[in-house]
Structure 1
Amino acid sequence: MERQDYQMPTLLRYENVAWYENGRVRILDRRIYPRELRFVECATYEEVAQAITDMVTQSAGPYTAAGMGMALASEQSKHLADQARLDYLRAASQKIANARPTTANRMTLITEKCVAVAEEALANQQDPTEAIKQNTIDSLNRRYFTMDKVAKFLLEKIPDNGTVLTQCFGETIVGMLLREALNQNKTLRFFCAETRPYLQGARLTASCCAEMGFETTVVSDNMIAYLMEHEKIDLYTSAADTIAQDGYIANKVGTYQIAILAQRFGVPYFVTGIPDTDKKSHEQIKIELRDPQQVLELNGIKHTLAGVKAIYPSFDITPPELIGAVVTDRGIFSPYDLASYLKENPTNTFY
């Protein structure tokens, strides 16, 4: 398949997400982009796992970093006999997949597939490192291709000259929506919620929108009610780190409160993504609690007195009654009818 990152903004070109080469994994540091264009180089799979934990990359970026990290683990273990090498890769799979707990289920699908690819390569006397790297590229192609379908369905729901409110950085769907709008000569403008404390909406989503030539405005997270009252917002949309089968979704903290405001002001909220086959209920979703120090400072500058406390839940869970629809590669589904999607697609090959 042709590489699917054509016409993509800087953040979404494959080599700028995560890339294995010559015994290193290079990951574009999204914590400082676009202020700086700098890469973190990982010499071991443990360093890749730590980079994922530290949010060097986020959104769908860790899925790619995980695959490239597994290629690195294969290179690290090349001196071992085949069975010992597979055992090493299984340990790496466990470490990388659990770098962030809320998405461990999706990450496990990726890393376990890498182990299976390595096992097949070894059985055929092929290089497992290259096989894992190629599998990761194939996965990227598949994800971009799939999300392009999602983008087409989502774009149908946005009028020409329409205004879209985003939350956090939906990675692939953001790039695909922008590319598809350009291909259809559809004019859109974007309001990007800033998304504290890491500012992914301001730094990442807004950067992609502006780079692709769209009118882009950043608003802080506490301006949403004002925005909806004084601007015509046609659609609020976000991706989801988990879409449970009972219609609840987990996404960057703040998604829930914007959904409440969207309902209050009559703005439709469309979630994009693929329902998770292993999440029957939202009660299975584990919310990651991150270092509260990240709330007490911004860009390394403290803005509270000593002794002030903070909390940092990285995600929140939005209930189905606030979700207008879940937009998938197979069309648009009610959050109360995700079983219909899963009936047609019972096994998740997206990752």
Structure 2
Amino acid sequence: MERADYGMPFLLQYENVAWYEDGKVRILDRRIYPTEVSYVECTSHIEVAQAITDMVTQSAGPYTAAGMGMALAAFEVRDKSAAQQLEYLNKAAHTIGYARPTTANRMTKITSNCVEVAKIALSQDQNVVLAIFNDTIDSLNRRYTTMDKVGRTLLRQLPKNGKLLTQCFGETIIGTLFRAARESGYDLEVFCAETRPYLQGARLTASCAADLGFKTTVITDNMVAYLFETQHIDLFTSAADSITRDGHIANKIGTNQIAILAQTYGVPYFVTGIPDEDKKNREAIKIEQRDPQLVLECRGIPNTLPNVEGIYPSFDITPPTRISGVVTDKGIYSPFDLESYFEKEITRFY
């Protein structure tokens, strides 16, 4: 089987994202990587959904975990009648699909497609588990290939020795950007905002950049203005958990404030990803409120007195006025002209 994860950093190789095998799904625990290389092992699709909710895997990792989780759900009812299997898989599709509310529109596309794959497999007396697993690999190949186009388009906005600021962890786009940069002889310098409270920028994005040999520097989230004043940053980039048709984007909390600073200092901000066909405007974005305790501690160590309160909105919304362009598989679009993206054939990559 030809795979599209060649030359990718360790944590973006398929087996190190999420992997189904022998009645279990193994998910790399990104909450503690790279301090520890440890996997969460799930023996039911409900455990997979909980792992997604608990952010064992983040960014696009849940999309892979969702497909593998559906293969596990099929394994759980492999000895039942066809009708019972489909009923169970439909329930599993909902459970996994809504594990993270903000991206439920994307996740349910994956899980619903797995149900359709199961229907075909059952009608042809094929192995349902294997059919869903293979379809998940096909989906991974599509996504990696699609995001490779995005990464290469973004790379063209950078000089050969450019300085890049990232926010959070853009998963496949980050990996394909760095892979393309290495293949094309770019000598990038990468600055990663740490991304509190899970530190995805420090642990995940920085690891990908360092894995592929680029000079990598981590900054705390409150150092961005200093960075813009003291370093010549060529470009700020992030992925997006949602891109609405009217040009608003939802991404990890803190993205909007970096966009404000980038605009103030004249640094272009390019968002990467595929616009959401079913989200017309910012009102369609649901901001997930997570456990505030995570803000009051770092890696389980409390930073405050017990009577101190916290707040943890997972995402914020950046308006189109602060975005220089949206980099897609079809090229770069103005955030004010995303409707034209849908005039062409829509890419299926989940």
1:163–1:234 contact (8 Å) kept in structure 2: yes
Query: Which residue type is aligned with residue 14 of structure 2?
Result: Y
1:317 match: 317
Cα distance in structure 2, aligned partners of 1:59 and 1:128: 27
**Structure 1 348/156 Cα, relative in aligned 2: closer, same or farther at 3 Å?**
closer
Pair 1:69-2:72 in alignment: no
Query: Which residue type is aligned with residue 52 of structure 2?
Result: I
The 5 A counterparts of 1:101-180 are: 101-180=101-180
Cα distance in structure 2, aligned partners of 1:246 and 1:30: 32
SS class of match (2:190): strand
The 5 A counterparts of 1:239-318 are: 239-318=239-318
SS class of match (2:140): helix
Cα distance in structure 2, aligned partners of 1:243 and 1:139: 20
SS class of match (1:222): coil
Cα distance in structure 2, aligned partners of 1:179 and 1:67: 25
Pair 1:92-2:95 in alignment: no
1:276–1:348 contact (8 Å) kept in structure 2: no
Spell out, residue by residue over 1:203-240, the C-alpha distance to the aligned partner (whole angstroms, 9 max, x if none): 00001101110000000000000000110000000000
Cα distance in structure 2, aligned partners of 1:140 and 1:41: 20
Cα distance in structure 1, aligned partners of 2:111 and 2:307: 41
What displacement does 1:248 show?
A: 0.1
The 5 A counterparts of 1:335-346 are: 335-345=335-345
1:42 match: 42
2:209 match: 209
1:202–1:218 contact (8 Å) kept in structure 2: yes
Spell out, residue by residue over 1:105-148, the C-alpha distance to the aligned partner (whole angstroms, 9 max, x if none): 00000000000000000000001100000000000000000000
1:25–1:48 contact (8 Å) kept in structure 2: yes
RMSD: 0.7
1:194–1:218 contact (8 Å) kept in structure 2: yes
SS class of match (1:35): coil
Spell out, residue by residue over 1:172-213, the C-alpha distance to the aligned partner (whole angstroms, 9 max, x if none): 011000000011011101000000000000000001101110
Identity, % of aligned positions: 65
Cα distance in structure 1, aligned partners of 2:22 and 2:322: 47
Cα distance in structure 2, aligned partners of 1:6 and 1:50: 30
Cα distance in structure 2, aligned partners of 1:17 and 1:160: 30
What displacement does 1:2 show?
A: 2.2
Cα distance in structure 1, aligned partners of 2:284 and 2:153: 29
Spell out, residue by residue over 1:282-323, the C-alpha distance to the aligned partner (whole angstroms, 9 max, x if none): 101000000001001111100100110000000000000000
SS class of match (1:20): strand
Cα distance in structure 2, aligned partners of 1:348 and 1:52: 25
Cα distance in structure 1, aligned partners of 2:155 and 2:272: 11
SS class of match (2:109): helix
Query: Which residue type is aligned with residue 327 of structure 1?
Result: V
What's the TM-score, normalizing by structure 1? Answer: 0.99
1:274–1:329 contact (8 Å) kept in structure 2: yes
Cα distance in structure 1, aligned partners of 2:86 and 2:204: 37
Spell out, residue by residue over 1:148-169, the C-alpha distance to the aligned partner (whole angstroms, 9 max, x if none): 0011110110011100000000
Cα distance in structure 2, aligned partners of 1:209 and 1:152: 15
1:277–1:348 contact (8 Å) kept in structure 2: no
What displacement does 1:349 show?
A: 1.3
Query: Which residue type is aligned with residue 55 of structure 1?
Result: M
What displacement does 1:348 show?
A: 4.9
1:49–1:96 contact (8 Å) kept in structure 2: yes
1:350 match: 349
Cα distance in structure 2, aligned partners of 1:26 and 1:290: 24
What's the TM-score, normalizing by structure 2? Answer: 0.99
Query: Which stretches of structure 1, 4 residues or more, deviate above 6 A after TM superposition?
Result: none
Query: Which residue type is aligned with residue 269 of structure 1?
Result: Y
Cα distance in structure 2, aligned partners of 1:303 and 1:186: 40
1:23–1:75 contact (8 Å) kept in structure 2: yes
Cα distance in structure 1, aligned partners of 2:297 and 2:347: 39
1:327–1:333 contact (8 Å) kept in structure 2: yes
Gap runs ≥5 in structure 2: none
Cα distance in structure 1, aligned partners of 2:80 and 2:312: 42
1:296–1:310 contact (8 Å) kept in structure 2: yes
Query: Which residue type is aligned with residue 234 of structure 1?
Result: D
Cα distance in structure 2, aligned partners of 1:218 and 1:198: 14
Cα distance in structure 1, aligned partners of 2:299 and 2:256: 25
